[in-house]
Amino acid sequence: MTKLSVNVNKIATLRNARGGNIPNVLKVTLDCESFGAEGITVHPRPDERHIRYADVYELRPAVSTEFNIEGYPSEKFLDLVLKVKPDQVTLVPDAENVITSNAGWDTRAHFDFLSKIIDRCKAANIRTSIFVEPDLEMVEYAAKTGTDRIELYTEPYAAHYAQDREAAVAPFVKAAEHARSLGLGVNAGHDLNLENLRFLHERIPFLSEVSIGHCLICDALYLGLKETIRQYKECLK
């Protein structure tokens, strides 16, 4: 079964636009769980423009499903992760000024750096995942770091899905199968939505988890949060 992890960053973005505590990130998080989400993802950035570090500390004891923290592994980020001890940490190569994640790691060039981070997280019994593009060499070097999983950066799949979904998904299937052959779990995320998620899951049915935020929250504006989560989960059956 592929788990649906809801990224609640956009809820925090909406809250931060006006100040105060509406919408309440903790309440929405608990609602997502009650509506069927099997996990919650947060991505605190250095400028805290959406999820704040304080949010992470508040959410950790309240989340009863799987808690995934993603971000660039700066010392500040790692200090948070090692104190909070989520179920999973997803390492992304984001520069401080990017709007959203837009590339996977060059795991060969950053092999030593990533290996040390993986060792620190695994010593704290935190499952690790490295954000990568569907490149077989990047998958291989990710495996060599000792990580538990990779997360496939699916924006290119989503961008080309309407033109030729078979061609769009092909490199992701190959990368996922290669990762599995190396003993890695496979997650996926970025720009997955109700149009393209089912097909991806049909082609890679052994995905451990998909992390979805922006598109899911946008759909919830029209469908409501409960119905939206139900429909996303239907895509994963």
Active site residues: 43, 70, 190
* Strands, E assignment, 30-87: 39-42, 66-71
Separation CA 93–CA 64 (nearest Å):
28
CB-CB neighbours of 82 under 10 Å: 14
On the CB side of 12, CA atoms within 13 Å amount to 22
Distance of CA 149 to the CA centre of its chain: 12
- The sign one gets for the Cα dihedral 80, 116, 74, 88 is negative
**Identity of residue 220:** A
Phi/psi of residue 224, nearest 5 degrees:
90, 150
151, 175 contact by CB (below 8 A):
no
